[in-house]
Structure formats: structure tokens, C-alpha cells
Amino acid sequence: MDIYDHPTFRMACQQFDLVADFLQIPEAERARLKFPKRSMTVALPIKRDDGSTEVFSGYRVQHHLTLGPTKGGLRYHREVTLGEVAALAMWMSWKCALTGLPYGGAKGGIACDPHKLSAGELERLTRRYTQEMIPFIGPQVDIMAPDVGTNEQVMAWMMDSYSMHMGHTVPSIVTGKPVGLGGSVGRREATGRGVGYLINRTMDVLGRDTNTATAVVQGYGNVGSVAAFSLAKYGVRIVAVSDVNGGIYNPKGLDLWKLEKYNAERRTVVGFPEADPVTNDQLLVTPCDILVPAALERQITKANAGQIQCRILAEAANGPTTPEADAILEQRGDIFVIPDILCNAGGVIVSYFEWVQDLQSFFWTESEVVDKLFRILEGAFTQTLNLSRKQKISMRLAALSLGVRRVQEAKRTRGLFP
Ligand code: GLU
């Protein structure tokens, strides 16, 4: 399947192969589990504000359809490719299966820099993408959500475009919408909140006190910033954070409320007065108790895995650690990894709640959402930890094994058609 060839897809396949070996999955079943069920590439011509026409490339990959519709985010980033999206879709499959959601994984993206497009251009691009995807999506087929570079407004435009085509309002076509349009309370905070919950849980397991702990957060977007606030609530001191422009460091701890205001005004954390500048490379090796990569894939590699100085690595991003880095971390044995498909699952869990609420037109309170979110995370965390201890395997291998095994069993039980 050369069409998916990309470093991130190769990484997802490498992880899958390790799991398949561990689970002793027969060769014939491996390809069926590994490769995406279907994928779509579209050309998206839009009118730019200066009157010119530009064509962007858009993608959507649906990894498997065995357990229900597919589910996953939509990413706007310059480097989006079909292969990257395919890897992210595969991870969504294992994430949904690990947490018991009735979905297969999907992911989509448009290769563009959303910061260089006006609001009007972004809206036209989003509407055009949705239009092109109509034969491929639906509330019982494939449901999109925000990811890197997209937000509630983008979801609102998608929902509107789809609804106009259908002739009636269809809130359940996307999740992560504004609450006023059928979004769920607590969806925006869900990923970061889940990250905070799982770190706190891990601190308990390790017998550590959150009140004396420090954390470093790479990526200060929706996930990283909410995770930082959530950790601060548990008493953790946030000593360094970064965004695409660079990082900031203050060993005494950053004032998150002041930083929030600064970031809202300047659209970057760089230059925050009460901190020293650090590069992204320095940030990742800053001594701390908790390191939270909340940006993009392949940040922790064989080049820096030996130098990382934390007790807990909480993967808020998808695929931040390469398999080579994983091998180094395992050999070191001093770092507890909360693997991505568990650590950041809060987002898709509350997306599932949003979809259920939309289908029933019956909406829940924030405490209902948070309570149900933590219950699911607790179950997935405990199962992963137990398997990891029982089999003496890494938390990543345990989490992936639980996810892959469930999809494998579902495929086996359903059998082959015809
Ligand atoms: N983009 C998020 C993720 O990677 C959320 C997906 C969703 O809510 O469907 O998990």
C-alpha cells in the first residue's frame, strides 16, 4: 500500500507489527487489520480574497468500519498528507476500541496554513471540503471533529454545509461544535481534562505528591493549555511551555492566568515577561516530574529519548514518541509512559457523548459529562495498567494490545462477506 507511505504511517505500522507479534495474530489477519478500509483525496478550489483561485488538497481516511461509523478529527496544517492522515486514523481505531466506543477510526486533513487564510477563505475551504466529502460521510458513516488547526467554528461551517445539502439540520454529522448548535458542554476541555486526570492517577500509582511536582508542556493549544490548568488544579507547578514560535521557562512556576491573557492578546507564549526563552529542543529535556508533549507526531526520537528528564511522559499529542525512542525509554526503565491512545482519549470520549446527545436530542449537564468521562478513562487506565504489570510489557504495548485485540475479535466474529 505505497499510497500511504510516510514516516508517521511507517511508525504506526511498526507499532502495529509489534502488537501483532505479541498477540500472535496470524499473517492473513494482519493486513486486514492494518490497512485503511477506504480513503479519499479531493482537490479543493477556492476563491482567495484577492480574486485569484487556489486549489488545496484534502484527505479523509476511514480505517475500519467493523464496530460502527468511523470517528476522528480534521487537521489543517501545511504538512498534512494522505499517509499522515492514515496513521492518525489507525491510532483512532485503537483508541476507540481501548475505551470501548462503538466506532472505527478516521482522520482527515487539508494541506494548508490556517493562520495565513482569512476567516472568509477558511470558511470557503471548509465548506468546499464538506461538499466534496458528502458521498463519504454521515452520522452513521463517518463523524468529524476538531484536531490541530481546526476548532468549533470550523465544525459549525461543516455542520451547516452538510445540513444545507440534506435540507434539514443534522447536528450529529460533526462533534466539537459550539454548544449553541448541539455541541456538548465539556467537549472543548475534554482532552486536556482527561490528560490531567490520568496524570493525577499515575502520580497516585507511583506514590508521588502532585503538590511538589513540576510539569513541562510542549504545545500550548486547546489540549496543552487545558492540561496545564488541570494539572495546576491538582497542585502541579508548570515550569515551561511552548508553541510553534518557541518556549518559555520559569523554574518557580508560570502564572497560568497571566499567561492566558498574554497568549490571547499576542497569539503566542513567546516573550512572556515572567520567564526565560527556551528552544523546543531544550524544553523537551528540561528536568521535571511530568513531561506533556501536546503538539505533533515524532517529537521524542532516538536523538533525545536518552536525555529526557521526567518521571511521567504523558502523551497528549498523537504519536509523539517514535518506536526507536520507545525502545530507549523501555531500556531506561525510569519513565512511566501514559501512551497517546489512552492519554488523549478524553476528546473522542466526549465526542461520543456529543453524538449520543445529538441523536437523542437530549442534553446532559457538565457534571454528568465529566463524571462519565472519568469513569471511562478510569476503566481504560486500570485495564492497561493491569495488563502491563501482568505481562511485564510497556503501557503502550498493553494499551495497543487491548485496542487491536477488540477490533480483531470483532472482525473474526463478523466473518468475511460474502
Ligand atoms: N482529534 C481528536 C483526537 O485525535 C478528537 C477526535 C474526535 O473527537 O473525534 O483524538
Q: What are the residues whose beta carbons fall under 8 Å from the beta carbon of 238, sequence distance 6 or more? A: 214, 215, 216, 217, 228, 231, 232, 253, 254, 256
Active-site residue identified among 34, 71, 95, 107: 107
Domains 2-177 and 190-338 share a fold: yes
Per-residue pLDDT of the chain (418 residues; tens, 9 = 90+): 799 999 999 999 999 999 999 999 999 899 999 999 999 999 999 999 999 999 999 999 999 999 999 999 999 999 999 999 999 999 999 999 999 999 999 999 999 999 999 999 999 999 999 999 999 999 999 999 999 999 999 999 999 999 999 999 999 999 999 999 999 999 999 999 999 999 999 999 999 999 999 999 999 999 999 999 999 999 999 999 999 999 999 999 999 999 999 999 999 999 999 999 999 999 999 999 999 999 999 999 999 999 999 999 999 999 999 999 999 999 999 999 999 999 999 999 999 999 999 999 999 999 999 999 999 999 999 999 999 999 999 999 999 999 999 999 999 999 998 8
- Going by CA atoms, what residue is nearest to atom 8 of ligand 1? 348
> Considering the domain 190-338, what is its CATH architecture?
3-Layer(aba) Sandwich (3.40)
Q: What is the pLDDT of residue 15?
A: 97
Q: What is the pLDDT of residue 159?
A: 98
Tell me, what DSSP letter sits at residue 79? T
Q: Would you list the domain boundaries of the chain?
A: 2-177, 190-338
- Find the 295 Cα to ligand 1 centroid distance in Å: 14
Q: What is the pLDDT of residue 418?
A: 85
Q: What is the pLDDT of residue 319?
A: 98
Among 369, 358, 375, 389, residue whose Cα is nearest residue 138: 358
Dihedral (CA of 174, 175, 176, 177) sign: positive
Active site residue 177: no
User: Secondary structure of 136-163 in the HEC alphabet?
Assistant: HCECCCEEEEECCCCCHHHHHHHHHHHH
Ligand 1 binding pocket (C-beta < 6 A) is 71-73, 145, 147, 175, 318, 344, 347-348, 351
CB 411 within 8 A of CB 33: yes
How buried is 399 (Cβ within 10 angstroms: 0-12 exposed, 13-18 middle, 19+ buried)?
buried
Q: Which fold has domain 2-177?
A: Rossmann fold (3.40.50)
Q: What is the pLDDT of residue 80?
A: 98
The pick from 90, 96, 351 for probing ligand 1's pocket by mutation, whose C-beta has the most ligand atoms within 8 angstroms, reads: 351
Residues shown for the chain:
418
> How much is the pTM?
0.98
